[in-house]
Amino acid sequence: MDNIIKLFEDSVADEIFGSFERKNIKQQLQDKNLSKREIDFIRSKIFDIALAKVNATNNKMIVEWLENANKALNGLEKEVQNDIETFFSPGSECKVAIIEAISQAQNSLDVCVFTISDNEISNKLIEAHKRKVKVRILSDNEKLLDKGSDIQLLAQAGIPVKIDNTSNHMHHKFAIIDSKLVLTGSYNWTRSAELYNHENVIVINNQSNTTLFKNQFEKLWKEMSIF
């Protein structure tokens, strides 16, 4: 994914988006057979690139570049109603899937996880909150006392946090992005899960399943206590 983003960054650096560059990017996108989630993530990065580059003298060129860059993405999305992607750890692919999903959130981000102690993920949640995404977090009352837990940090950043108020564990690990996409699986949002544990993350793009997770989140949100 990073090499695709780099191609778009290079294409705008000289303020010329030539036909060779367009063809090269289009071909590489087609070869990767990207999912709709990945295409949406690239599209969001394209707007970030344009925003960082635009100034008073090149705004017309940037608009033209933005139009051509988006055209390169047209027609690549998979027309699949039950789009499921699976990732495994140890290794970074689970965390990358989580970070990409958080980065593409535009309206809402409901997180229901046993524990959060991976600083990179926590920083992405705070970034989402700062760009006016409605972020809510549910977590376990005992795990927030663990060394390295980021729950207090996230609450101090202004993100609404609620915790389990029973003697049992809130052991879920799922997140809902824009009420459309669900991340779930065994993966705890920790560094040890990335580096050592055998875990999984499943990304589900299916409205019926998303609704079930959303209903569960709202149920728990009503039941749990404000941190």
Kindly report the backbone phi and psi dihedral angles of residue 163, in degrees, each rounded to the nearest multiple of 5, phi listed first: -130, 155
Residue 40 annotated as catalytic? no
Given the residues 36, 53, 83, 178, select the one marked as catalytic.
178
Tokens of 62: 């940037």
Helix (H) or strand (E) holding 41: helix 36-53
Q: How far is CA 105 from CA 74, 99, 155, 179, 226, in A?
A: 20, 10, 19, 10, 24
Helix (H) or strand (E) holding 67: helix 59-73
Residue 173 annotated as catalytic? yes
Given the residues 45, 172, 173, 180, select the one marked as catalytic.
173
Given the residues 71, 171, 198, 219, select the one marked as catalytic.
171
Task: List the one residue out of 85, 141, 135, 84 whose CA is nearest residue 111.
Answer: 135
Q: How far is CA 32 from CA 18, 26, 38, 87, 134, in A?
A: 22, 10, 10, 17, 32
Residue 178 annotated as catalytic? yes
Annotated active-site positions, please?
171, 173, 178
